Amino acid sequence: MIPRYLTNFNLQQIEQIKTDFLVIGSGIAGLYSGLKLANRGKVRLLTKGKLKDCNTEYAQGGIAAAIATNDNPKLHYLDTLRAGAGLTNSEAVSTLTDESQERIEELIEIGVEFDQANGELALTKEGAHSCCRVLHAGGDATGAEIRKVLGQQVQKNKRIKVDSEIFAIDLLTENNRCYGILAYDQKQEKYLAYLAQAVILATGGAGQLYAKTSNPAIATGDGIAMAYRAGVEVMDLEFIQFHPTTLELAERENFLISEAVRGEGAILRNQAGKAFMTDYHHLAELAPRDIVARAIYQEIKNSSDDHLYLDVTELDPNYIKERFPTIYRTCLEAGVDISKDYIPIAPAAHYLMGGVKVNLNGESSLAGLFVCGEAAAMGLHGANRLASNSLLEALVYGKKVADRAATFLDEPKMDFNWLQFNYDQQVRGDIPAEKIKNQIQSLMMEQAGIVRNELGLKKALAQLSKMTDYLKMTLLQIEEVEVQNLIIVAYLAVKAALIRTESRGAHYRSDFPEKNSKWNKHICLKKENRQEEFRVEVN
């Protein structure tokens, strides 16, 4: 049983902060939508850590856009559809690719410094792209550069107030309308209520579901879980993309080795030193991510070790250091000189294609609630995201969300005085958060990872169902609440994976290894009062 709220509270007894627009999240989607909304009204932007604590900061490869003379939005559109394995929303993709150049030009205008070659923007090629169309900055620090510039714009905008170390706990809703959120101020150690005309969730993904992930510790699926508790539809949660190449070393967290490294000529090798990708796909190292990840999974399974290798030793050492400075430096600190040594790699959870179900304007099934970035699901990425489309999505649909949310100021000013939220159904307690998180991560790796089957998924669902008992407690530590969110998202992802009896994109069932046209549909899950319902939606 998943409760409506995770904590007991009385709205009249906690501080209320009112604004026009409330943006939750400081990644590229939150920053960009916040800037656009500031043109229309006052914005409050919340982040549960510091402003730079987000997945965007870790995005290495780049941002895809059809700007080359031998490229066009139609080619980009077709590549995205092919990667999505028959489940992409074609209208969403068309909007993404058609508006890509305009969004890139805007980034350059506000100061983002993309890398150049011979006086022109440098473009590279990544998996499943038909040509070079991926822009990058700082070699392999694209996300950090974009976030830095957008963050500077946000901080100097007088109509945006940034509140850091604010943990969003639950949406405040009544009569199918979102009025704001219940939050916890980690610095003042007290609950707050943020109330707004429109709420924008830009809370990112849920990589922390897995023991091996390229995501930072904050990626705990908070926005998706809180939306589900509020009765909002979620969609496509079975589609979890594993990045094929992350640094795999004992006693170290997995570190992303960008797909751009393979785009520049790196070769995947097994334990015997054999290049094996041509055995799996004609595009070899540049096949779609789901195919490369499964190939590596199979090769590791066939070996006696827990990793394979990525070989960049044929590239010029100076070029490696210039093109991939972050990767070079991080590997060197770990004892691997990538100009001389093979890089030990293994797949790790990287991106969630599913999330809160929204339309092309980012509107959820709850009035006043918008979602953009990785937390949103409109079918844009289908069953498998095309490399470097995520940063572009955050820009294109961050603007769509802002444009639509801004119209809420055209309505009569909302009166919050009548709100009487009062929830008192939870028991006070504490849980061994780290232990339970480790259990979830191990369970998901073993039973709901790159390869799944009915037996393993049922085992995972049974264990996660027992863990829902932890949702009945009002908890005092943020880490504990994050675990509650992970329990919910894991439960929903496994349930969706059980329902989809086929293999498609990032969802691979060994007991149903083929794609089935009857599953050209989206699985939507929704909490209805005290029970859960699911439905399939024709693509």
The per-residue pLDDT for range 295-345, each reduced to its tens digit, is 999 999 998 889 999 999 999 999 999 999 999 999 999 999 999 999 999
- Give the model's pLDDT for residue 265: 94
* Alpha helical stretches, state H, 38-193: 73-83, 90-98, 100-109, 142-155
- Give the model's pLDDT for residue 414: 77
The confidence band for 37, taking pLDDT boundaries of 50, 70 and 90, is very high
* Residue entry with tokens 């590239």: 315
Lowest mean pLDDT among 246-250, 271-275, 301-305, 424-428: 424-428
pLDDT tens, position by position, 92-151: 999 999 999 999 999 999 999 999 998 999 999 999 999 999 999 998 889 999 999 999
- 8 Å CB contact between 432 and 201: no
- Give the model's pLDDT for residue 349: 97
The confidence band for 52, taking pLDDT boundaries of 50, 70 and 90, is confident
pLDDT at residue 170 tops 90: yes
Residues of the chain with CATH 1.20.58.100: 422-538
Mean pLDDT over each residue of the chain, to the nearest integer: 93
The confidence band for 219, taking pLDDT boundaries of 50, 70 and 90, is very high
pLDDT at residue 532 tops 70: no
Q: Which fold would CATH assign to domain 240-350?
A: Flavocytochrome C3; Chain A, domain 1 (3.90.700)
- Give the model's pLDDT for residue 520: 95
Give dist(CA 16, CA 5) in Å, integer.
18
pLDDT at residue 279 tops 60: yes
- Give the model's pLDDT for residue 336: 96
Q: What b/e string do you get for 386-409 counting C-beta neighbours within 10 Å, with b at 16 or more?
A: bbbbbbbbbbbbbbbbbbbbbebb
- 8 Å CB contact between 83 and 386: yes
CATH number of this structure's domain 422-538:
1.20.58.100
- Give the model's pLDDT for residue 439: 98
40 is known as an active-site residue: no
pTM, two decimals, is 0.95
What are the tokens at 306?
């827990």
Residues of the chain with CATH 3.90.700.10: 240-350
| Range 66-92 average pLDDT | 96
Residues of the chain with CATH 3.50.50.60: 12-239+351-410
- Give the model's pLDDT for residue 435: 96
pLDDT at residue 533 tops 80: no
Give dist(CA 99, CA 318) in Å, integer.
36
> At residue 440, what are phi and psi to the nearest 5 degrees?
-60, -50
pLDDT at residue 60 tops 80: no
* Alpha helical stretches, state H, 409-477: 433-447, 454-467
- Give the model's pLDDT for residue 536: 66
- 8 Å CB contact between 352 and 358: no
- Give the model's pLDDT for residue 421: 84
| Range 397-416 average pLDDT | 89
Architecture of domain 12-239+351-410: 3-Layer(bba) Sandwich (3.50)
- Give the model's pLDDT for residue 14: 94
List the catalytic residue out of 40, 229, 289, 500.
289
- Give the model's pLDDT for residue 230: 95
- Give the model's pLDDT for residue 406: 95
Element housing 401 (H / E): helix 390-406
Q: Measure Cα distances from 156 to 38, 151, 162, 239, 399 in Å.
A: 12, 9, 11, 38, 19
More confident residue, 413 or 161: 161
Contacts of 149 (CB under 8 A, 6+ apart): 107, 110, 111, 112
pLDDT tens, position by position, 450-493: 999 999 999 999 999 999 999 988 887 999 999 999 999 999 99
Percentage of the chain beyond pLDDT 70 is 97
Give dist(CA 392, CA 110) in Å, integer.
16
